[in-house]
């Protein structure tokens, strides 16, 4: 018995059938034609996807049975919303949805409705990732954006749409002292971020060096990690952290 096996009450995980890609495509066609059994066969034939995601939560919860049920719900949603015309494997599409469903359950968040255009872009991004990852190296969002003729920010937003919602109290920056939460970046009323503050922020940003502005943009608008930026610029993560911290401190001083 594998030490990585996920144990689920009442389910013999060792005997779960795994469908080939060709079998799944055929079942999706049958489901679209109204076959009452095709959907069930697709669900049963992809339970291994749920188990693979559950491995990430082993040791983090006392009982995986409930998470298995929630993960199955995510699988069902993925199957019901999957479109074979995009030529993307179900596993590529379903895994982030299954994981997102589980994390939403753990965080007690509600599902968000994603627009069709963002959904289309997410599919295209996943397809390119799948095609270009065959050589062992996953393409960057910047490379994908260039191929699809969109901005890197658009790619980041599309991929984020497949993930679980973020708490308003999620920490997004910590310099070793005060922590900045997502809540701090959301104004409750329009007048709380009035013209005076906008002008002060604009002036503060103009006093920054071009490199500092680009790093802040990559970190807090595009959503890159410090390590990703460091690799692109050919410097250490510690240097990126230092530049980012100094830029934020300078903005704070100039706004006061």
Rg from Cα positions in the chain: 22
Confidence of residue 12 (pLDDT cuts 50, 70, 90): low
Q: How far apart are CA 130 and CA 133, in angstroms?
A: 5
Please, which residues have CB within 8 angstroms of residue 252's CB and are 6 or more apart in sequence? Answer: none
Same domain, 155 and 84: no
5 three-class SS? coil
Same domain, 54 and 6: yes
Same domain, 77 and 93: yes
8 three-class SS? strand
Quick: pLDDT tens for 122-176. Answer: 888 888 888 887 666 788 888 899 999 999 888 888 887 776 555 544 555 555 5
Task: Calculate mean pLDDT across residues 1-25.
Answer: 68
DSSP state string for 154-190? HHHHHHHTTSPPPPTT-EEEESSSSEEEGGGGS-SSG
Given this model, what pLDDT does residue 196 score?
A: 58
Same domain, 1 and 85: yes
Same domain, 175 and 131: no
Given this model, what pLDDT does residue 190 score?
A: 45
* Main-chain dihedrals φ then ψ at residue 36, nearest 5 degrees: -70, -15
Q: Tell which of 124, 148, 165 closes a domain.
A: 165
Q: Tell which of 111, 136, 153 closes a domain.
A: 111
Task: Output the domain CATH number for residue 206.
Answer: 1.10.10.10
CA angle 186, 189, 194 (to 5 degrees): 95
Confidence of residue 108 (pLDDT cuts 50, 70, 90): low
Same domain, 154 and 197: no
β-pair type (179-181, 171-174): antiparallel
Same domain, 97 and 122: no
Task: Calculate mean pLDDT across residues 55-59.
Answer: 77
* pLDDT at position 9 over 70: no
Same domain, 151 and 81: no
Range of the domain at 161: 112-165
The pLDDT mean for the chain works out to: 78
**Total domains in the fold of the chain:** 3
Same domain, 27 and 3: yes
User: Which is it for the CA torsion 190, 194, 197, 202, positive or negative?
Assistant: positive
Task: Calculate mean pLDDT across residues 54-70.
Answer: 77
Given this model, what pLDDT does residue 187 score?
A: 45
Cα separations (Å) of 96 from 68, 118, 144, 212, 219? Answer: 15, 15, 18, 33, 23
Q: Choose among 141, 144, 158, 160: nearest CA to 218.
A: 141
Task: Calculate mean pLDDT across residues 92-108.
Answer: 84
Cα separations (Å) of 189 from 6, 36, 131, 215, 242? Answer: 48, 51, 45, 28, 33
Same domain, 54 and 123: no
Same domain, 130 and 24: no
Could you tell me which residues are beta bridge partners of residue 171?
181
DSSP state string for 44-100? HTTHHHHHHHHGGGBTTBS-SHHHHHHHHHHHHHHHHH--GGG---HHHHHHHHHHH
Q: Tell which of 111, 137, 155 closes a domain.
A: 111
Quick: pLDDT tens for 163-219. Answer: 655 554 455 555 555 555 554 554 444 444 455 566 667 777 788 888 888 888 888
Same domain, 102 and 117: no
């Amino acid at each position: 018995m594998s030490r990585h096996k996920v144990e689920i009450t009442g389910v013999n995980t060792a005997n779960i059938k795994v469908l080939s890609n060709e079998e799944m495509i055929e079942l999706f066609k049958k489901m679209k034609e109204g076959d009452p059994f095709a959907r069930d066969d697709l669900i049963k034939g992809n339970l291994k996807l749920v188990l693979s995601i559950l491995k990430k939560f082993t040791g983090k919860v006392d009982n995986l049975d409930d998470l298995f049920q929630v993960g199955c719900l995510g699988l069902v949603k993925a199957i019901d919303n999957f479109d074979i015309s995009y030529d993307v494997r179900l596993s590529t599409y379903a895994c982030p949805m299954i994981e997102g469903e589980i994390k939403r359950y753990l965080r007690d968040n509600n599902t968000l409705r994603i627009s069709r255009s963002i959904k289309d872009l997410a599919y295209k991004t996943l397809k390119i990732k799948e095609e270009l990852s065959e050589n062992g190296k996953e393409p960057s969002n910047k490379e994908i954006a260039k191929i699809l003729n969109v901005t890197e920010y658009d790619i980041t937003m599309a991929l984020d749409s497949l993930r679980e919602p973020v708490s308003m109290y999620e920490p997004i920056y910590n310099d070793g002292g005060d922590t900045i939460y997502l809540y701090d970046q959301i104004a409750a009323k329009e007048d709380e971020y009035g013209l005076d503050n906008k002008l002060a922020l604009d002036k503060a940003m103009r006093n920054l060096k071009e490199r500092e502005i680009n790093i802040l943009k990559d970190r807090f608008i595009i959503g890159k990690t410090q390590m990703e930026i460091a690799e692109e610029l050919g410097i250490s993560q510690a240097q990126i952290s230092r530049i980012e911290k100094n830029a934020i401190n300078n903005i704070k001083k100039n706004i006061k």
